Amino acid sequence: MQEDFNGGIDLVEKKSDTAHLYDGKTVRSSAPSRKKAAGRMKGSSEIPKDAIPEVHVPSMIESLFGGPIVSKTKFLPPDRVVKNLQMSAAIILTLLSIVTFTVTPVSGTAWFWLSDVINQPAIGALFHILLIAMGFIGGMYGIFQREQRAILISYVILILVTIRFAGSKVEFGIDLLPDGEISQKLLLISYALFLVMYIELTSGVIRFSMLDKSIRTGEVYVMNVKKITSQYYKSLMITPLVAGLVALITLMINLIIPFIVGLLGSDSTAKRLEESVELTSVYGVALGTAVVFMIVASAFAVNLPARLAQMRENSNK
């Protein structure tokens, strides 16, 4: 940094280069001759093509969402962080595809219904597997080519295969899976976690690729890159654990409520609640979600996180 901060007048004269201000037009060094200019002129008086600005007319969907849904970005070759994220995303996608196949039966899906109508149930099962395979291949392509559209398509497909009329009972695609309620719910949570992790990791691949490009083109300067990436990795470990725990509490509401009622001394009521169809069904999960998120919402309503942060920031001052 310079020592002189007195605001002295800088009389440095430099060669003018203001080409960036008018579409890269280069400045000529000599004075133009009017005769030469006249000689250069063409017979036609039509407007030159490069004088007409390129106008991107947004599509209907773009107008609806206020911009391109998936932006086209050219990336530089991936650096170490991006490569690590790509590998992690690929592993998670593989696990997700396997878990999706195991926990999602074809029964209850639209294609199962259609194949049943034409009396060819094998076609429905084949289509189901094909969809999962497409989601997997599209995802892999998207991850390694950093093609956001392919990634988005794989999200849609992997969510689409789970959309099925299931009834209240949990069903799996493979019969060999455990029947115990807790293990079933753990499997469901792991499926959900893999899906969320896949979405996050693929978004991380794109985000860090963009950041890497900005760093290398000098648009942004990053101090302590290692610390920033290590924080991201740390969050990738902690956040899914927290989310999984909250989801577990929510899904276990049919056991938690009877347990609390049992503690209050009404054993028969607790027993009845435990066997209640409503609590063990999806509506029980809905009730659990409502309870858990009401607690979270009230914490935010009283500004608890900010208060805690304030306490921590002002401690030892």
Residue 302 is a binding residue for another protein (CB under 8 A) = no
Considering the complex, state which of residue 110 and residue 264 has its C-beta at the smaller distance from another protein: 110
Residue closer to another protein, measured from CB, 86 or 107 = 107
Instruction: Tell me: does residue 170 bind another protein (CB under 8 A).
Output: yes
Closer residue to another protein (CB): 25 or 272: 25
3-state SS, residue 74: coil
Cβ-based nearer residue to another protein, 69 or 260: 69
Nearest to 202 by CA among 300, 297, 87: 87
Name which of 241 and 260 has its Cβ closer to another protein: 241
Cβ-based nearer residue to another protein, 228 or 264: 228
Cα dihedral 199, 283, 99, 252 sign: positive
Say whether residue 34 binds another protein (CB under 8 A): yes
Q: Which is nearer to another protein, 4 or 179 (CB)?
A: 4
- Smallest gap, in angstroms, from Cβ of residue 88 to another protein? 14
Subset of 255-284 contacting another protein (CB under 8 A): 281-283
End-to-end CA distance of the chain: 31
Residue whose C-alpha is closest to residue 102's, from 135, 129, 134, 121: 129
Dihedral, CA of residue 57, residue 61, residue 65 and residue 66, to nearest 10: 0
Identify residues 143-162 at the interface with another protein (CB under 8 A). 159, 162
Which x/- pattern over 225-254 shows residues binding another protein (rule: CB under 8 A)?
A: --xx--xx-xx---xx-xxxxxx--xx---
- Residue 5 binds to another protein (criterion: CB under 8 A): yes
Tell me if 50 contacts another protein by CB under 8 A. yes
Q: How far is CA 180 from CA 95, 170, 173, in A?
A: 22, 11, 16
Kindly state the smallest distance separating residue 8's Cβ from another protein, in Å. Answer: 6
Long-range contacts of 74-78 (CB under 8 A, 24+ apart): 75/146, 75/209, 75/210, 75/212, 75/213, 76/209, 76/212, 76/213, 76/216, 78/146, 78/209, 78/212
- 81-109: b or e for each residue (b if 16 or more CB lie within 10 Å)? bbebbbebbbebbebbbebbbebbbbbeb
Residues 87-146 that bind another protein (CB under 8 A): 103-104, 108
Tokens of 67: 């911009």
Binding mask 177-196 for another protein (x = CB under 8 A): --------x--xx-xxx-xx
Pick the piece of the chain touching another protein (CB under 8 A) from 118-126, 143-151, 216-224, 267-275: 216-224
Of these, 42, 56, 72, 74, which contacts another protein (CB under 8 A)? 42
**95, 166, 255, 256: residue in contact with another protein (rule CB under 8 A):** 166
Q: Does 296 bind another protein (CB under 8 A)?
A: yes
Computed on alpha carbons and rounded to an integer, the radius of gyration of the chain in Å comes to 30
DSSP 6: S
